[in-house]
Amino acid sequence: MDIRKIEFFVDLAKTLDYTETAERLFTTQGNVSKGIIALEKELGVRLFDRAHRKITISEEGNLALGYAQRLLKDYQELQKVLKGYKKQQEQHLTIFFIPTAPDYQGFGKISAFIKAHPEIDVELKETEANAIEYCLEQENNAVAFARTWESAPKDRWLLKTEADEFAVILPKTHPLAEHEEIKIEELQGMPFLLQNESSLIYQKVEELCHQAHFEPEVAYTGVRVEILMKMVEKEMGVSILMRKSVEHQLSDKVVLRPLTPNKTSHLSFIAKKNQEVAVLKTFWDYIQTH
């Protein structure tokens, strides 16, 4: 019996709405409908009564529901037990990554590793850049894929992948949009739309402004790059972001221009040196050779 069908049945019995169940279980309405029909065929009963685009649970469905709930609970408990066992056997690896990581080629190495090593339980966790070091300290069998600006501390393994630099994002109607590149001092007095103040990107932008002897006039800070881009579209200010994290999502209402002077960062894999575990060595060997 496919446990996914049981999950569909238990949730649909609660919502009585195919669309809501699909959203709750991160699938499509069609998949839920097919799963319920297949389960009804397998059990030889009608689990739901359907009339006038509304559904209600049938008498047979009510009879089956308690058993289905216990099956689902037992299966979830089984998953927890097996996951704990995998951790004990050092077959669990946690990979922390920054929100913009999927925009970079190095993230593809993670996907390729997961496919190449199905025996390893890989847990992906998104986190902000300023929390990466804390996460690495708190978690065993862990590696991070994050932005680095300088060399790593002596107690860290560091493998740099691609480089990235700052770019200026401007409304297409902005006077500076005609320039092939933009000097940081040309942005003095303009409203800046930046990533949040605790981020290293914010700090590096601030450093560039200070080197040009002015204080940036920050009108807004936020976490989500797409919101900053929308605000630039609406001519609410200018933004300085990492080129590769935004160039694929430029609209026809904004332009991207090189910044000078600039700062270079790298997307890097980072891990603690004192983790002498096989699963981490397997991962590290893989990303160095692929």
- Please indicate, yes or no, whether residues 258 and 271 belong to a single structural domain of this protein: no
Residue 129, pLDDT score: 83
- Give the pLDDT band of residue 21 (cuts 50, 70, 90): very high
CB 144 within 8 A of CB 271: yes
Residue 34 lies in domain: 3-86
> Does 13 or 81 have the greater pLDDT score?
13
| Euclidean distance between CA atoms 182 and 198, whole angstroms | 25
Residue 87, pLDDT score: 67
| Euclidean distance between CA atoms 223 and 141, whole angstroms | 28
**Token pair recorded at residue 183:** 């000097």
- Please indicate, yes or no, whether residues 61 and 19 belong to a single structural domain of this protein: yes
Phi, psi of 149 (to 5 degrees): -115, -35
Residue 273, pLDDT score: 83
Residue 86, pLDDT score: 67
- Please indicate, yes or no, whether residues 274 and 253 belong to a single structural domain of this protein: no
- Please indicate, yes or no, whether residues 168 and 238 belong to a single structural domain of this protein: yes
Tell me the average pLDDT across 130-136: 87
- Please indicate, yes or no, whether residues 112 and 185 belong to a single structural domain of this protein: no
Residue 138, pLDDT score: 85
Residue 89, pLDDT score: 59
Last residue within a domain, chosen from 46, 61, 86? 86
For residue 239, the Cα-to-chain-centroid distance in whole angstroms is 22
Asked if the peptide bond before residue 261 counts as cis, ω within 30 degrees of 0, the response is yes
- Please indicate, yes or no, whether residues 270 and 254 belong to a single structural domain of this protein: no
Candidates 100, 99, 157, 96; CA nearest to 123 is 96
- Give the pLDDT band of residue 13 (cuts 50, 70, 90): very high
| Euclidean distance between CA atoms 59 and 51, whole angstroms | 15
Residue 1, pLDDT score: 62
- Please indicate, yes or no, whether residues 246 and 170 belong to a single structural domain of this protein: yes
- Please indicate, yes or no, whether residues 271 and 157 belong to a single structural domain of this protein: yes
Residue 223, pLDDT score: 83
Last residue within a domain, chosen from 86, 109, 126? 86
Residue 198, pLDDT score: 82
CB 126 within 8 A of CB 76: no
Residue 266, pLDDT score: 93
- Please indicate, yes or no, whether residues 148 and 283 belong to a single structural domain of this protein: yes
Q: Convert the pLDDT of each residue in 82-112 to its tens digit.
A: 877 766 656 789 999 998 898 898 999 999 9
- Please indicate, yes or no, whether residues 169 and 260 belong to a single structural domain of this protein: yes
Give the rounded percent of residues in the chain with a pLDDT score beyond 90: 70
- Please indicate, yes or no, whether residues 79 and 111 belong to a single structural domain of this protein: no
Domain count, the chain: 3
Residue 112, pLDDT score: 95
| Euclidean distance between CA atoms 155 and 133, whole angstroms | 12
- Give the pLDDT band of residue 264 (cuts 50, 70, 90): very high
For residue 199, the Cα-to-chain-centroid distance in whole angstroms is 17
Residue 268's SS3 state is strand
- Please indicate, yes or no, whether residues 153 and 171 belong to a single structural domain of this protein: no
> Does 169 or 279 have the greater pLDDT score?
169
Domain of 281, CATH number, reads 3.40.190.10
Asked if pLDDT for residue 276 goes beyond 70, the answer is: no
Among 9-18, 136-145, 214-223, whose mean pLDDT is lowest? 136-145
Q: Convert the pLDDT of each residue in 139-190 to its tens digit.
A: 878 999 999 987 767 788 899 999 999 999 999 999 999 999 999 999 999 9
Asked if pLDDT for residue 70 goes beyond 90, the answer is: yes
